[in-house]
Amino acid sequence: MENRLLLFSLVLALLLLMDSSSAQAPGFVSLDCGGKEGFRDELGLEWSPDSLNYGESTNISVANETRTQYMTLRHFPADSRKYCYTLTVASRTRYLIRATFLYGNFDNNNVYPKFDISIGATHWSTIVISDASTIEMRELIFLALSPTISVCLSNATTGQPFISTLELRQFNGSIYYTDFEAQFYLSVSARINFGADSEAPVRYPDDPFDRIWESDSVKRANYLVDVAVGTEKVSTRMPIDVNRDDRPPVKVMQTAVVGRNGSLTYRLNLDGFPGTGWAFTYFAEIEDLAPDESRKFRLVLPGNPELSKAIVNIEENAQGKYRLYEPGFTNISLPFVLSFRFGKTSDSSRGPLVNAMEINKYLEKNDGSLDGDIIANVVSGYSSADWAQEGGDPCLPVPWSWVRCNSDPQPRVVSILLSKRNLTGAIPSSLTKLSGLVELWLDWNSLTGPIPDLSGCVDLRIIHLENNQLTGPLPSSLMNVPNLKELYVQNNLLSGTVPRGLLNRNLVLDYSGNINLHKGSKSGSRVNIVIGSSVGAAGLLIATIVSCIFMRKGNKRQPEKDQLGNTLPLQIVASSKSNAPTEAAHCFSFSEIEDATRKFEKKIGSGGFGVVYYGKMKDGKEIAVKVLTSNSYQGKREFSNEVILLSRIHHRNLVQFLGYCQDDGRSMVIYEFMHNGTLKEHLYGPLTHGRSINWIKRLEIAEDAAKGIEYLHTGCVPAIIHRDLKTSNILLDKQMNAKVSDFGLSKLAVDGASHVSSIVRGTVGYLDPEYYISQQLTDKSDVYSFGVILLELISGQEAISNESFGVNCRNIVQWAKMHIESGDIQGIIDPSLGSEYDIQSMWKIAEKALMCVQPHGFMRPSISEVLKEIQDAISMEREGAMVRDGHSDDTSRNSAHSSLVLGDLAGADNFLSLDESVAQPSAR
């Protein structure tokens, strides 16, 4: 789509830069975003400043980072626009493109940015910064099909989008050829150098294409863990014959790991997966084997028994020692958490050996707007204008500032908004080819020449050409634009007569101010606004008044402008959410409550705030009545706080507040009755009856609760912070849907401020340590508590325990963190889950839970992110469950065991339905 955007000055600039840096490998572009001048780095790569005319450059300083390209970055406004780099490439050539992001707290804000990066119209990745001094990197391999490629930042969710470097590396050969390369990019997930002699990656000049081969000794969370006993590094100085120059560099092949005890095992998280991808391993025999020795092994991937059939014999496959053998899969389906093993065959004397590995994910290309080429043509006539520099696809992922598009998968341009842009010359004829065009705004420019034939734009409704210097007649072809409703051509230099067909139509037409343009052939009667004759007299009057008001107010109906004078898409300026008026809380009479509870007969729970009674209203509705203890710290003020708050909140995952009652100094709040009690009881309490809820149900409960919390955080104005999330505040209804309860400690977050200060409250074990220390309450305090709940769901352990977590550890967070970070997730999984869970979904939740309990609020994800992760885990789990219930071929599972657990599960279901029929209500 970008193939005609050649004439951008930016592109020209890049072409010049590339010429001047021809000393290094051809086809390398290294942009130092925000940089001021070019330089050569210690690797010998030539860097050039990115000369963009938007965004701002900033200097940053990050401990231990001395590379010049990381001392600057370019950041962009957090608005609804996209900001693009356009790079020149050689068509039909493969490239690696690499974008890096080092936040460095450039805005002195510590709000970690989150935004999207796209390549052309294709969403590439979401950049989520979680640490000010860690470089985020994204790499993509693509076959260039057009002379330029654009990389755009957009969709600032938090913070300001920014970029540190953008690098383009041209490949020479075809190692990355795939059958799918016209429709798919390869997004790089892992590129590993096994047995590396240091933590430093191998890259240029050892790798002439500057791929970054990551050392296997770098320890990252859940990356290359579960290393088998007996794994040893080996290396050689002998040259390795890698055959062709785009194979892994010799230096990478000279090191390897060997499984001395017969196995090599690893587990790693694959960013972007699950999905289908391209995965290759690289082997070279670099040890001396005696003549009677052999090295033969198999790849074992859980769930893929077929793959284990092939036997690797490196020397035989490569036809010699010190030669490359590179088996792989051009299209393999892989999970997010990849566990793999190379196991020696029984007749092999040596254990397996592996030198390197590469895994890339297929990323489907988006073809972009159908009008991309036409718009590129329009733009090419204005190469020096700011508005023509926006780059990327005109519609995707977000439209240019002066374009609006429809929402088709391959969008069409529906509006061109180029009022007051100093356009000169003729109206670009390409515009007439925009077959989806509805509105054309070219008013207040200096356009000259005739009005082109617009009859190809069959949907065109509104045309603004006024206040230009257009000449020639008002073309009769306009009569062939079937949907035309408004036509403004006043104040031009048009001549001749107004076609009768236009005058006879139901059309708002203004052609005043064209001294040589006349209504009919005989007279020069000046009709400013002609309304079609089919409109009746009254209609005419109204229409005229409306139009007049509209005329007088000038560009009232024009889309609004932002500070830069750019036209904003209309939906952006749509009015923001208004504060709904506070609904009055329903007041129950005391006698009503007394009757319903039969004089407070059935106590169903008690807590710090008071006692909860079961009740049934006359209409059969079951209720829970919380009678607040008079000496409870929840005094009158908190009471009214809770009442007002609760009456405003309605969400299916929040326990419904029905009203309140005050009598004789006693305060009561009335909620819907929740039949299945608290989550806590189901995890640890009497309701478990020695059985517990299964993993998928736990995930669904987590999802429900997260939705409730998300609503409090994002759906209420001002946002509401719960402050006391815990398993006993998550209640379950008849259908085991979870709802969050007890806003007794909730306080309205101060609108506009990021935190409110108040007395620290909450429950030990769930309390955000940062809040405890600083007394600064934010929504991230709830996220902390929710992380604790996730850990409880995984482990079936209570948040605080004197026995469960070993010596010197009373707290689930410390305990779980220790296990998860050392890769030992099995050590914390609730034994009562048996093996009826998908290890990947478990990992996903465990990792997110750890993010939630990070010591500092800004390091924690938002509840919405957590929710998304839970939902992903649920879909993984559902797929996994289908596999498990069907043909279980996962080698890590024991089938006898799993059928036993299935039996248990059926029992659990019975138990739940049984429990429903027992009318014994549970506490809330």
Ligand X SMILES: *[C@@H]1O[C@H](CO)[C@@H](O)[C@H](O)[C@H]1NC(C)=O
Candidates 230, 524, 635, 769: give the one binding ligand X (CB under 6 A). 230
Q: Tell me the two tokens of residue 325.
A: 């053998």
Q: Does 184 bind ligand X (CB under 6 A)?
A: yes
- Minimum CB separation of residue 385 from ligand X in Å reads 7
- Minimum CB separation of residue 245 from ligand X in Å reads 4
Residue 801 DSSP one-character state: -
Residue 57 or 841: the one with the smaller Cβ distance to ligand X is 57
- Minimum CB separation of residue 303 from ligand X in Å reads 15
User: In the range 415-474, which residues lie near ligand X by CB under 6 A?
Assistant: 420-422
Bridge partners of residue 98, in order along the sequence: 139, 167
CB 671 within 8 A of CB 661: no
Candidates 59, 589, 757, 910: give the one binding ligand X (CB under 6 A). 59
Q: Tell me the two tokens of residue 37.
A: 């001048």
User: In the range 295-354, which residues lie near ligand X by CB under 6 A?
Assistant: 331
Candidates 15, 90, 221, 229: give the one binding ligand X (CB under 6 A). 229
- Minimum CB separation of residue 178 from ligand X in Å reads 7
User: In the range 383-402, which residues lie near ligand X by CB under 6 A?
Assistant: 397-398
CB 68 within 8 A of CB 41: yes
- 561 marked as binding residue: no
Q: Does 499 bind ligand X (CB under 6 A)?
A: no
Residue 208 or 449: the one with the smaller Cβ distance to ligand X is 208
Q: Count the neighbouring beta carbons within 10 Å of the beta carbon of residue 234.
A: 16
Q: Tell me the two tokens of residue 666.
A: 């006693």
Residue 398 or 454: the one with the smaller Cβ distance to ligand X is 398
Q: Residue 866 phi/psi, 5° resolution?
A: -65, -40
- Evaluate the CA torsion angle 728, 730, 732, 736 in order and state its sign: negative
- Minimum CB separation of residue 277 from ligand X in Å reads 8
User: With CB under 6 A as the contact rule, which of the stretches 59-67, 144-152, 515-523, 805-813 interacts with ligand X?
Assistant: 59-67
User: With CB under 6 A as the contact rule, which of the stretches 55-63, 285-293, 299-307, 887-895 interacts with ligand X?
Assistant: 55-63
Residue 64 or 521: the one with the smaller Cβ distance to ligand X is 64
User: In the range 20-49, which residues lie near ligand X by CB under 6 A?
Assistant: 25
Residue 711 DSSP one-character state: I
All residues at 6 or more sequence positions from 264 whose CB lies less than 8 Å from its CB, including other chains: 228, 231, 257, 258, 341, 342, 351, 352, 353, 354
The contact pattern for ligand X, residues 269-298, with x = CB under 6 A and - = no contact, is: -------x----------------------
Catalytic residues: 724
**Burial state string for 111-136 with b = 16 or more CB within 10 A and e = fewer than 16:** bbbbbbbbbbbbbbbebebeebeebb
Candidates 3, 68, 157, 345: give the one binding ligand X (CB under 6 A). 157
CB 508 within 8 A of CB 487: yes
Residue 399 or 436: the one with the smaller Cβ distance to ligand X is 399
Q: Does 260 bind ligand X (CB under 6 A)?
A: yes
Pairwise CA distance, residues 693 & 580, whole Å: 39
Residue 93 or 276: the one with the smaller Cβ distance to ligand X is 276
Candidates 63, 290, 310, 538: give the one binding ligand X (CB under 6 A). 63
Q: Count the neighbouring beta carbons within 10 Å of the beta carbon of residue 261.
A: 13
Q: Does 109 bind ligand X (CB under 6 A)?
A: no
Pairwise CA distance, residues 176 & 904, whole Å: 48
Q: Count the neighbouring beta carbons within 10 Å of the beta carbon of residue 787.
A: 26
The contact pattern for ligand X, residues 113-132, with x = CB under 6 A and - = no contact, is: ---x---------x------
- Minimum CB separation of residue 249 from ligand X in Å reads 10
Pairwise CA distance, residues 780 & 725, whole Å: 12
Q: Residue 32 phi/psi, 5° resolution?
A: -90, 95
Candidates 68, 105, 130, 172: give the one binding ligand X (CB under 6 A). 172
Provide the 3-class DSSP secondary structure of residue 530. Answer: strand
Residue 219 or 636: the one with the smaller Cβ distance to ligand X is 219
CB 282 within 8 A of CB 253: yes
Q: Does 565 bind ligand X (CB under 6 A)?
A: yes
- Inter-axis angle of helices 779-795 and 863-885, nearest 10: 20
Closest C-alpha to 765, from 800, 731, 798: 800
Q: Tell me the two tokens of residue 732.
A: 């379950």
Provide the 3-class DSSP secondary structure of residue 77. Answer: coil
- Minimum CB separation of residue 170 from ligand X in Å reads 9
- Annotated binding-site members: 626
Question: For binding to ligand X (CB under 6 A), which residues are involved?
Answer: 25, 58-59, 63-64, 116, 126, 133, 155, 157, 172, 180, 184, 208, 229-230, 245, 260-261, 276, 331, 362, 397-398, 420-422, 565
- Annotated binding-site members for ATP: 626
